[in-house]
Each structure stands twice: as C-alpha cells, then as structure tokens.
Structure 1
Amino acid sequence: MVPDVGLVPIRLVKGNLSKVPPHVQQFIAKYVQICRPKGVFICDGSDEEAKEMTEKLVERGTLVKLESMDNCYLCRTDPADVARVESKTFTITREKFSTVPHVAPGVDGQLGRWMSPEDAEKELGSRLPGCMKGRVMYVIPFSMGPVGGPLSKPGIQLTDSNYVVLSMRIMTRVSGELFKVIGEQGEFVQCVHSIGAPRPVERKVINHWPCNPERIIISQFPDERKIVSYGSGYGGNSLLGKKCFALRIASCMARDEGWLAEHMLIMSATSPEGKEHFIAAAFPSACGKTNMAMLTPTLPGWKIKCVGDDIAWMRFDKDGRLRAINPEAGFFGVAPGTNTKTNPMAMATCSKNTIFTNVGMTSEGGVYWEGLEREVDPDVEVSGWLGDRKKIGDFKKSGIKAAHPNSRFCTPASQCPIIHPRWEDPEGFPIDAIIFGGRRPEGVPLVFESFDWNHGVLLGAALKSETTAAAEHKGKEIMHDPMAMRPFMGYNFGDYLRHWIDLNKPGRKMPKIFHVNWFRLDSNGSFLWPGYGDNIRVIDWICKRVDGQDNVAIESPIGYLPTEGSINMDGLNDSYRTPQNWQKLFSLPKDYWVEDVRETRQFLDSQVGIDLPTPIIKQMDLLQERIAQM
C-alpha cells in the first residue's frame, strides 16, 4: 500500500510514516511533489542502515574501502565540486538590510549575500522541479546538540545523496527519536538538498560523483528556518547541519532568543595544579582551530580536553555564566598538514570509522596527503585525488598534489582520545576566555588581551587572515574575516555586533577576550613561534589573566601584552628564548599599525556603514588615538 500524504502519494522505500509528526509529513510531501524522487527512505541512524548504504556506495564506486584501516572509506568528488561556494550562497529575506549592512555606494558587500524572495523563487523554481527523478529521497532526522537538550535544535534534511546521509550520521545525531522530540516541540529546521542530477543524467559523471556545479545555489531562509541547497555534494554545501544550520540559521535564532552561534572551537585546559578553564576560540577556516582544540601540550602537567573544533552555541545561565555546547557530533577536518607532529590526536581520531574525501590512497590501502611525507614510506605508490599514480617523491617533484588542499576527514568526535568526558553535557561548559586569531605574517603580536568587552568585540570585528583553500579563493592575500564569521553571517553584521555588545549586562560574568597570532614571520620568512603543542604556553598566560594575575601583563596601545618573561619558555629551542625574539614576537611597528587601523576603519565604514554600532565607532576612535601617540 502506498501512503498518501497531502499532495502526492509517497512510495516508501523504508520507514514508517505513522511515526512522523503530521507537519513533518507535510514537509516531506511538499518536496516529493516538487523534486519527484522515485521513493522515500526515512533514516533511523542505525549501524545496520549505515552498513547497507556503505556497501551500496562501494559497489557503485563512490566509496573505496581502505583495506589497511578499520572501517574507513575514501571518496573522490568531481574536481569541480571541492569547496564551499561563497559566491553562490545567499540569505533570503523580505527586507534586504535585515540580511546585509548598508555598504558604501559602489562597494561590493562582503558580509553576506542577499536575495529577494521573488528572485529566490525564480532561481529555485528553475532548479528544483524534478531534480530527484530516478533517485531516492532520504529523510534524515537530526539534532544539533544532544537529543532533547535545552541548548539543542532539531532539523530534518531531505537529500538525494546517500554520501550525505553517511556524513550527516557522523557530523550530527541522527535518530528516529527526533520525530518524537519534534512532535513535542513543534519546530524544526527544514533542510532540503539535491545534487541536481536527475536520471537520466545529462552531465558527464566524474568519479561516480553526480553534481551540477554550474548551477549551484545555497539558500538560507532565516524567517522560515529553512535551507535549500542545490547542485553540490561537497560537505560545506550539502551537510546542511553544519555551516548552513549551525551558523547561518542558528545565528538568527541566537539573535532572536538572546544567545550566540559562533564559528568557534571549545576546549578545556587544566593546569598542573588541577584548575580547569574552558576556552572558545574563533579562527577562519583552515587556520588551526582543529589543531588547537586537540592540542598536545609541551609544558609538563598541563592537560587539554576537546569539546568541539568548529562551532559553539553559547547561552548565559541563571548565574550569569556563558555556557557553550558543541552542536556537532563529528569533525570535518582539513587533511593536508595534519600529521603526528601537528595534531596527533586528530590522526588517532580518524584512524577508524572515517570517510576521507579527496585525499590520496596508498597502494597498501591507507591514506596520504601533503604533510605525511615523514610518516609514509617514500617508495610507496600513491593514487592521487585526480587519479595520478606516483611515488610520494614523484608527486612533490611534479608539483601535482596527491590530495586536494581542501581534502577532508569526516570522523566521529567520540573517538578523539582527548574528548572531554562530559563533552555531550546538554547544559554546556562555562566559558572563561574567548580568543580570536588568524594568519598574520607581520605586525601582530603573539597574544594580547582586550581592555574590556567592547574592545574585545572590536578585536573580533577587525579580524583578518590570509585566505585558505576552504573556499574558492585563489592565492594568498590578507582578507577581513570579522569574528571568523564573514562567510557564515545569517543577518546584518552591524546588528550582529550590536547583539554582542548588548550581551554585556549587569550580573553577568563576561569572559575575557584575547587575540592570538601563531603565524608571524621573521625577515627570512620563517615562523617566529613554534606553534602546535607549544601554544599551551600562550594558553597558560591566558589562564593567568583569567585568574586575575595583574603582574603578567602590561598596557599597550592595542591591549594588554605579556610582560617579558611571563610566558613560560622552558624547554624551547634557544632561538625562541632570546630577548631579540621576544621583541620580534611582541613589537608594534607604528607605521604598520597606523596603516592597519586606517584600513580596518575603511573596511568597517564601507562594509557596515550606518549599521556600525556607536560603541564600536568609539572603540575605533580610541584605538586610533592610542596608535597615533605611540
């Protein structure tokens, strides 16, 4: 018997519609009517379900089993579908300036892309009808955050990609229990995704990866709590619980409900004395969030625990403490550069039950990417992500990458050896410090602290970094990435800054705010700071400041800098411990800062304009005055 829900009959491949709340049934039926799949598969998130899908994808050639690893698989995408596509990502609202700021005349706005409902209807109307013909529509009930938790939010994703189903199962909490939660709560975020390749497929399929890259569009409808993504199977565009829901839609929820949804890692650092501090840190994509979240400390006695490596949802509790959860259940990490030196915990985490995308595969059935040269026999033959078969050394000589610069591992967070034992605590963790940071090759000190909350918000608003391969940018240039949220803003950035400022209310214990820069270079182009596990030395200083130690900081025009010797350098190479190196790490070249502040002001004036909150303008004025008096 074919169940009939509303508009069209639904041919069930698997599942029981009687357990699905009526308003969810109507959501499914609406898109069955539009997308015309051959059947509907209601997912339950079980191991059996995943095993069955995995076997089908291996049989089809989409996944390749990695024989030397435990339940790990490799996927290679169409080379035209390898990264987030910011230029084709839009937020749809009736009022334009509820989404984007009032930019200066003739300026191309960088803080979000707006589309009118009429244009969105036209664009999606030319893509969605019949887009799933010949394919199964998978219904994925998922939770961002522990199922039923007070800080958690449920969603339903419809997709015609079982690769997406398997990845969502790792990255979110997929469970049939969500239908009961949604039935009780009523609300859920509607997520619709199609690779845009109805059968019979007209575009040539490469690497068993059907997609429609020429017609990609990723659209967020914050007022409707809805996401529609078309044309791409790549994670950032297709795993809709991630950036689309957990940042773009959730930032609007957070504005409306008085909390924060941020592009931040969450970690705890426990001192040798046994005191634990919780830290949230915002860096642009591929700038070291995962490395910091899983840091292996070089200072004796310190312990790091990971709560999350990418996204933090934070609310103030009844006692005025800002508490954070990691809404995700997995890590979607950048593979190149990850190794047992830079991030041994990530390497251990992704050693089993992992889907790798666009990395190289060794002839022994393992994985390879740039950064693993010292850990894989150089004579081993590697099949690169584009199909080239070479020895590792020959890849380097040829200039061809074995792995795409944005290749990924999708792996369960629960497998991380240093995952916090309470990482799924639905009440979240009290945040003591917020850190902003980016790749700044010159001028910016290793670490400094804001003077107060509003000054800290300015530090986030002025965040800049070298571009990376996580999006479609080419080459290296310093780009503004305010709050590390530039590609992920769900609403007007001026209103977003005002929301941050307004959170500072009487009775609340506001976290201290810091800025870090692991990437400052000397005149020879070498890093002045060793980074990685030695970043614990900076975290040690940050914890001292959180604990109220005044004698370890000195006031400077840009904020509080460490007093010389207040960062523990014991055990470092002698070259890092010299007074000259300290001076290079913390110097403030006046000409550089005069220009930096001028350029930052120009950016905020042109990109945010009349929407820039008065307290931020005041902070810019004060900073500019202090720099002028250096």
Structure 2
Amino acid sequence: MLKKNEGIDIVREIGGIQTIEQAQALFEKRLDGEHLSRIRTLSHPEILLKIANAIAMCDPARVFINTGSEADCQFIRRLALYKGEEAILPMEGHTIHHDLKEEQGRIIDRTFYIANPDEKISSLANKILREDALVDVREKMGGIMAGSTMVVGLYIRGPVGAAASNPALEITSSAYVSHSAEILYRNAFSDFEKEVERLGHFYTNVHSEGLNRPEDLPNARVFMDRSHRTTYSFNCTYAGNTLLLKKGNHRFSVDKAVYEGGGRELAEHMFITGISGPGGRVTWVAGAAPSGCGKTTTAMAGNHFVGDDLAQMWIDSNGSVRSINPECGIFGIVEDVNREGDPMLMDRLRNPGSEVIWSNVLIDENGTPHWTGNGEAQPIRGRNFQGPWKKGLKDAGGNEIPISHPNARCTISSTALANYSEKTEAPEGVETRVITYSGRDSDTMPPVWAAKNAEHGVVIGACIVSAATATEVGASGVKRAPWANAPFIPGALGDYMKAQFDFFGSSAIADDKRPILAGLNYFLTHEARGGSSRKLLGEKKDVKVWLGWLERRTHGDVDAIETPIGFLPRYDDLKALFETLIDKPYPKTLYDQQFSLYVDNILARIDLQTAAYGREENIPGQLFDVLREQRDGLIALKTQFGPVVTPEQLEK
C-alpha cells in the first residue's frame, strides 16, 4: 500500500517554515498589502504552509495571489506578453507560445517518481530516492524565481461539489502556465478551503521555467512526490511538463483511486462525450487513447462534449458509473485538425469570439496560425517551433522541417465549442454506459468491437498497443500502452489492474446500468488489408458510426457477431448508420476488409501481452485466463477457416 506523508516533505524541508506563525511572518514580509489581504482570507494550516515554503524555497521578487477575477486574468495575460512567453496575434483573444525547440513534448527521460525505500513504482516509470531528490530540488529550485513574479493559483480538478474532484495549488513563475490553467481548470479561490475540508486532501504543484535556455534542458526535471502529493518541475516550459494540474496531478489521482478508492473509483486518461440516440436519448461514452491518438477528434464526434483527455469515475449509490472531467478546456493537438474531420473545432479556431493560446504552430507574415494537415493553402514562409521557416528548410540531419511540430497544440475553453454540454459542470457527473479503448494500431484489430463481459473489457484496456507519437520527446516505434494510462500509473501495474477488475466487475454496479467495454481502432491501413497504400482504411469521421453502433448496442437495438475477441457489428447495421449519421455509402467490400479477423496478427498480439505481463509481479489471474480463452478460440477459427476469417464465416 502507498503510505501518505511518508518521509520528509521536500518543499517544507528546504523552505524551513514549520509553523503558521512563521508562515504569517513570511507573508507580511514578502507580500504587498493587496495580496497579503487575499492570503489572510485563507486559514487552513497545510495550505498556508505549502505556499509559504514554496515562497521561501524559490525566493520570488513578487507574489501574486490569483483569485480568478477578470482583473487577475488580465494581469496574467499581460505578464505573459511582457515576459515574451506569448505574443499577440491579429485575431482578438489569440496568442502564440513557442516552447524551446528541444522541448516539444513530455520529457519522459527526466520525469521521476520520488520513492521511499522499498516503495513499489511502476516498471514503466523512472524513480529517484527521496534523499537524492531533496539534493536535486535544493540545488536547482533554491532561489530559482529570483527577480520573477510567483503566481499562486487555487484550483479544483472537477466541478465544485463533485465526489471525485481534487483541489490543487498551482504555484509557478510562468505566466503562460498560469494563463493556460485559467482556461483549462476551474479557479476555486473562494471555494478552495471548503472543498479541501470536504474531500480531505489537496495537491501542490511548484514550477519554474528558470532562465528558459536550451542549455538548461539537460537539468530539467519533473519530480512527483506521491507521499506528499506534491510535484516539482523546473527548467522547462512545455505544458505537459509544467502545467502540473494536468498529468502530474492525474498521477496522484490514479494513486488515490487505486489505493484509497476501494474498487469504486478510477482516474483515467479518457475523453467524455454524449451520443444522441433514437428517441432523443443521450448515451454517455468515456474512452481512452494515448496522447496524440485521436481522443479530441473522438470526443468532438459526440453531440454533447464534456472532455477530451481526462476522466474521474466512481460508482454512485444508485449503481451507476459516473464520470466528470477534471478540466474545463482543451489542450489539443492540432495536426490533421481540419474542416472535414473536425468542423466544430475548426470553426472556433478560425473565427473570432474565442480565447486561444496556440503553441508550436507556424505563424505566417499576416499573423495567421498554420499547421500540418489543416486542409488549407499553406504559406511558404513564417516562424514556427524552431525559428524562422521557409518551405523546403531542412534540419542538421537533412530532413525537411514540417510547417508545424507534430505536437503543436491549441488551448481553448470547452464553453467555446458548439457541442459543449452544461453537464461538464454538473457535480453528479454523467451516467457512463460505454467505455472504449484505442491506439494507433495499423494492422491488427477491427475498427470497433464490444467485449463479452467486464473481464474481457478490462483486458482490452490492458492490451492497447500503439505507435509512438510526438507527445513524448525521443519516443519511437510501436509499444504497449496499457489503458492508454501507462505513463501516469505511479504504482505497480498489478495494483492498477486489480483496481480495474474490481471496479468494472463490482456488484455495486446495477445490472441495467453496467457499461459495455469496447475497442476502437480507426488507424487500420489499406496496406494491412491487402492493399499497397499506407493511407487509413476509412476516414476520421467514420468514428461517429463506430460510436453510434456502440450506443445502440448498449440499449439492445442491434445484434452482433460473436467471436473469440468479442462482438462485431453486422454489415446491415453499419450500412444504415453510415447513411443516417454521416451520409456516406459503406460498401460490403470495405466492411469485409475492416472486420475480417487476421488471426495471426491477433495471436501475435496476445502472445506479446502474455509474455510482457508474465514478467510483472502480482498480475491478476483473470488477465491470463481471458487471453488463453481468446487464443484457444482464434486457433480453432484458423483451423476451420484459415488465417483470415471473414464476418460471413464468423456468422457460421
């Protein structure tokens, strides 16, 4: 079990503030009258001690207590411009932020969990012993904010009053980070202490970009202290490394769900969206995919948008699985976002009326953002993630530099979206009836399939395999991506997997409200199904059909073909959904290509997962039972029909 408050609290050790009296004395010395009056509205000892010790450790010239008022937000926007962290674009409310060209994604090689002796850490993560982390933080964060303004924000990850929300302090010298937090999270200054008392905990995040120089990046670090639920980030700017409310605190939420949730709580790397079904019903879907694998596109395919990246889930007293979005905005990848596949998002990005922070796109001579795959005429010159750019420009290795970085982003509030749902702010969350798992799988699984039962569904999540994306610096190739949450699982994978089996198999979920679990894959290529092209076997917008089929399957409106891996849709049902949902013909030949089982590929995937999990400790036996059952069934099919089994053969 994970032990809370085990070992020294690093910020408290370095800051040296041990009592409320010492904290108040420091505030009186370091804060001006306005901000001293603001902090005096707070009384919770642990909150005050965290803020005081962060000030003592980082030694800023000024401290700004952000209440979330419009005046405070304007100050933060102006500070970002003054510091050069953002620049104004011609479209009102739009700014551009560029990270260092060497830091265009999560620095996974420099991200560590702070571990106590003998503490179990995920085999897929890095760890550093507490004493070593203390030395590193003291050396590199001591005085790091000298001459700078520290912005202290009090946020809540989720709606105020929700059962699974998490309060969090975001303390940073980066106005860009604070500006992003104001768009992506709920400033809860007036409710913060009340929510801390109600929920019994809060997270703390301390960040500074330092001097923001390329030569400092080898010394950049992201440290996560699970025992004290505090993160430290320094010498970096990319939001995935610095906006610690996001993936840093998501990791703490995973810990909380696994070790304190009692099988009734999960913290997942999932979108949340509502699908309109027959008779005016709305069916809520949550779905996991690794970063850069289409979560935003899938979320926007729904009719009622709640979130595109993270989900807190719990089983309520009525036997429903409920979900909330810890965020209230999008930090979305823009590569291949275009009017055909993402019309609602493009409307907000290309028309006035919304606040948008762009990052690492190209800005042309007219101040217009451009990115790869936007479906528009591309400029021949401008400024992008690596500096001045012109068409044909090559890097030191002779490779042509793209117009925008593959991990270029837009930050925008959810309320700006045409399909925004007011359920985003509902403390009771949404009743979630469909759970999907997906990744960049070019050659193995069909576009959509539903698990036979909860155990088979958990195994779909455990067995995600995906091509690496640009969201992680230095990542390449194809790798396992369990639940699309692997980079954010702090503890042993066996503990996390047990929590999944316990949650979805829980007797606390009412039988008539039990979600179906399913796989999604819209990255199949022509090449993998007998063609010569590496283009997708289908289009992004087809996901509306896959979600529509799952919505109807949940309510018993469509039948399915039973296979060893789960239930596949029938052709006539999909043909009708293609016509009604996206006004597109769906030929039988394409259906056969997409939904035939390529048995050898799936068997290789099962063998990969069996071997990989066999090397882990304390993996629940259900995983191996399900994989064995699927393997035996697939071998039987191959014996009868050969290595490629068509839907028509499966129906026999």
- Distance in 2, matches of 1:612 and 1:576, equals 45
Counterpart residue number, 1:541: 549
Q: Give how far 1:98 is off.
A: 3.2
Counterpart residue number, 1:251: 254
**Residue 96 of structure 2 corresponds to residue 74 of structure 1:** yes
Counterpart residue number, 1:130: 143
| Unpaired segments ≥5 residues, structure 1 | 101-108, 198-202, 296-302
Letter in 2 for 1:139: V
What are the superposed Cα offsets for residues 14-39 of structure 1, whole Å, 9 maximum, x if unpaired? 52221122332211121222222222
Counterpart residue number, 1:356: 358
**Residue 330 of structure 2 corresponds to residue 326 of structure 1:** no
Counterpart residue number, 2:371: 369
Q: TM-score, normalised by structure 2?
A: 0.86
Q: Give how far 1:524 is off.
A: 1.6
Q: Give how far 1:347 is off.
A: 2.0
Contact persistence 1:360–1:367 (CA under 8 A): yes
Cα root mean square deviation, aligned:
2.6
Counterpart residue number, 1:104: none
- Distance in 2, matches of 1:385 and 1:220, equals 28
Q: Give how far 1:61 is off.
A: 2.9
After superposing the two structures, state which structure 1 stretch, 574-583 or 174-183, moved more: 574-583
Task: Show the 5 A alignment for 1:290-439.
Answer: 290-295=296-301, 304-350=303-349, 351=351, 352-372=354-374, 374-376=375-377, 378=378, 381-390=381-390, 399-439=400-440
- Distance in 2, matches of 1:581 and 1:7, equals 71
Contact persistence 1:368–1:382 (CA under 8 A): no
Contact persistence 1:127–1:196 (CA under 8 A): no
Contact persistence 1:154–1:178 (CA under 8 A): no
Q: Give how far 1:6 is off.
A: 5.8
Q: Give how far 1:238 is off.
A: 0.8
Residue 573 of structure 2 aligns to a residue in which SS? coil
Q: Give how far 1:571 is off.
A: 4.4
Counterpart residue number, 1:196: 210
Residue 232 of structure 2 aligns to a residue in which SS? strand
Q: Give how far 1:458 is off.
A: 0.8
Counterpart residue number, 1:518: 522
Counterpart residue number, 1:601: 610
Letter in 2 for 1:493: L
What are the superposed Cα offsets for residues 89-131 of structure 1, whole Å, 9 maximum, x if unpaired? 222232545322xxxxxxxx32x22332223223323322222
Contact persistence 1:154–1:189 (CA under 8 A): yes
Q: Give how far 1:389 is off.
A: 4.3
Residue 479 of structure 2 aligns to a residue in which SS? strand
Contact persistence 2:328–2:424 (CA under 8 A): no
Cα distance change of structure 1 residues 612 and 327 upon mapping to structure 2, 3 Å threshold: same
- Name which of 563, 571, 582 aligns with 2:591: 582
Q: Give how far 1:454 is off.
A: 0.8
- Distance in 2, matches of 1:439 and 1:516, equals 10
Contact persistence 2:364–2:379 (CA under 8 A): no
Counterpart residue number, 2:74: 51
Contact persistence 1:96–1:114 (CA under 8 A): no
What are the superposed Cα offsets for residues 533-573 of structure 1, whole Å, 9 maximum, x if unpaired? 22221122112211124x62111121111223221355499
Letter in 1 for 2:104: V
What are the superposed Cα offsets for residues 288-332 of structure 1, whole Å, 9 maximum, x if unpaired? 11001111xxxxxxx711110000101111111100001101100
Counterpart residue number, 2:158: 145
Q: Give how far 1:402 is off.
A: 2.2
- Distance in 1, matches of 2:79 and 2:171, equals 19
Letter in 1 for 2:72: E
- Distance in 1, matches of 2:610 and 2:279, equals 43
Letter in 2 for 1:126: E
- Distance in 1, matches of 2:330 and 2:508, equals 35
Contact persistence 1:63–1:75 (CA under 8 A): yes
**Residue 208 of structure 2 corresponds to residue 220 of structure 1:** no
**Residue 11 of structure 2 corresponds to residue 11 of structure 1:** no
- Distance in 1, matches of 2:235 and 2:184, equals 21
Letter in 1 for 2:78: E
Cα distance change of structure 1 residues 96 and 263 upon mapping to structure 2, 3 Å threshold: farther
After superposing the two structures, state which structure 1 stretch, 317-326 or 53-62, moved more: 53-62
Letter in 2 for 1:629: A
- Distance in 1, matches of 2:24 and 2:584, equals 72
- Name which of 611, 619, 622 aligns with 2:629: 622
- Distance in 2, matches of 1:260 and 1:432, equals 15
Task: Show the 5 A alignment for 1:30-109.
Answer: 30-67=53-90, 69-94=91-116, 96=118, 98-100=120-122, 109=123
What are the superposed Cα offsets for residues 324-349 of structure 1, whole Å, 9 maximum, x if unpaired? 00110110001221121221222233
Contact persistence 1:222–1:249 (CA under 8 A): yes
Contact persistence 1:92–1:221 (CA under 8 A): yes
Cα distance change of structure 1 residues 96 and 556 upon mapping to structure 2, 3 Å threshold: farther
- Distance in 2, matches of 1:472 and 1:576, equals 40
Residue 597 of structure 2 aligns to a residue in which SS? coil
Residue 310 of structure 1 aligns to a residue in which SS? coil
- Distance in 1, matches of 2:201 and 2:583, equals 58
Residue 356 of structure 1 aligns to a residue in which SS? strand
Residue 127 of structure 1 aligns to a residue in which SS? helix
- Distance in 2, matches of 1:7 and 1:435, equals 52
Counterpart residue number, 2:126: 113
- Distance in 2, matches of 1:212 and 1:7, equals 34
Contact persistence 1:263–1:311 (CA under 8 A): yes
Contact persistence 1:443–1:587 (CA under 8 A): no
Cα distance change of structure 1 residues 524 and 162 upon mapping to structure 2, 3 Å threshold: same
What are the superposed Cα offsets for residues 376-430 of structure 1, whole Å, 9 maximum, x if unpaired? 4x46753333222436x88999932221111111111111110113221111001
- Distance in 2, matches of 1:136 and 1:64, equals 19
| Unpaired segments ≥5 residues, structure 2 | 1-20, 638-652
Cα distance change of structure 1 residues 152 and 561 upon mapping to structure 2, 3 Å threshold: same
Counterpart residue number, 2:6: none
Residue 629 of structure 1 aligns to a residue in which SS? helix
Q: How many residues align?
A: 593
Contact persistence 2:463–2:480 (CA under 8 A): yes
Cα distance change of structure 1 residues 383 and 517 upon mapping to structure 2, 3 Å threshold: same
Counterpart residue number, 1:105: none
Contact persistence 2:329–2:413 (CA under 8 A): yes
- Name which of 36, 40, 48 aligns with 1:25: 48
Cα distance change of structure 1 residues 514 and 155 upon mapping to structure 2, 3 Å threshold: same
Instruction: Calculate percent identity across the aligned residue pairs.
Output: 27
Q: Give how far 1:285 is off.
A: 0.6
Q: Give how far 1:137 is off.
A: 1.7
Counterpart residue number, 1:553: 560
Counterpart residue number, 2:494: 494
Contact persistence 1:395–1:402 (CA under 8 A): no
Contact persistence 1:433–1:546 (CA under 8 A): yes
Structure 1 or 2: more helix by fraction: 2
Letter in 1 for 2:95: Y
